Amino acid sequence: MIKVLIVEDDPMVAALNRQYVEQIDGFIVSDSAANTDQAIELLAKKEIDLILLDIHMPGSNGIDFLRWIREQKQDLDVILITAASEILQVQQALRLGAVDYLIKPFEFSRFQEALVQYKNHHYKFNVKDRVSQPELDRLLRKKNTSDLATQNLPALPKGLTKTTLHTINDVIRMQKTGTFSTEELAQAVNISRVSVRKYLKFLTDINYLDEDLIYGVGRPIYQYALNKEGSHRLNPYL
């Protein structure tokens, strides 16, 4: 489990962030702090993997706290969750190694995208001793050289994101049975069935997946499987 520390001075926002975290598999909220002094005390006592950090708080602000974390060489990651949208603060946070930056207010889907992407990166970096260049490029969100040479890349349908598409594709390719239903995929990626259906429709429309309607007891169920001849069709969208 990825252990999370929430650093947020607004109790209602802190409670909401905790609720959001608890809806995403693979994460557990270890504790929360109302200011950076409390956070420093907790870091001395607990093992933390990820901090969800506000910027504007009483006392030391989030940017100064992030700088302190780096100076102390703390082995943890930080996602900024803040109303601060000034370019200078965003630049400072990213230069200090923040792995993502969420501007309040935001939708749960954006919060989920940030944590799921972090989880994918976290496990990939922690289960391997080495990483290949293509894997590293994907982790750093870089496009392949062939993609950079293509000027007119197709766009994803409205409402779909590359990050979620990557996650769904990774789960699909790990399916041991070869076939899966909407319900099974939704549970595996921890995304609503409604959202998963949109991605499955897109993947069948481009012939990346084959779709079959299976009749049995109760209502018919759509089953999906990779189209072996269409494996290349997703590449331009990733």
User: Mind listing the pLDDT tens digit for each residue in 136-158?
Assistant: 666 565 444 444 334 445 678 88
H or E segment and range at residue 128: none
Q: Reduced to 3 states, what is the DSSP secondary structure of residue 58?
A: coil
Write the pLDDT tens digit of every residue in 205-232.
888 999 888 876 667 788 999 887 777 7
145-237 folds as Arc Repressor Mutant, subunit A (1.10.10)
Q: Is 64 left (phi over 0), alpha (psi -120 to 50) or beta?
A: alpha
Question: Where are the chain's structural domains?
Answer: 2-126, 145-237
At the fourth CATH level, the homologous superfamily of domain 2-126 is Response regulator (3.40.50.2300)
Write the pLDDT tens digit of every residue in 78-94.
999 988 888 888 889 98
Write the pLDDT tens digit of every residue in 20-46.
999 998 899 999 999 999 999 999 999
Asked whether 169 and 158 are in contact (CB, 8 A), the reply is no
Write the pLDDT tens digit of every residue in 40-88.
999 999 999 999 999 998 888 999 999 999 999 988 999 999 888 888 8
User: What pLDDT shows up at residue 144?
Assistant: 43
Structure tokens at 16: 């909401």
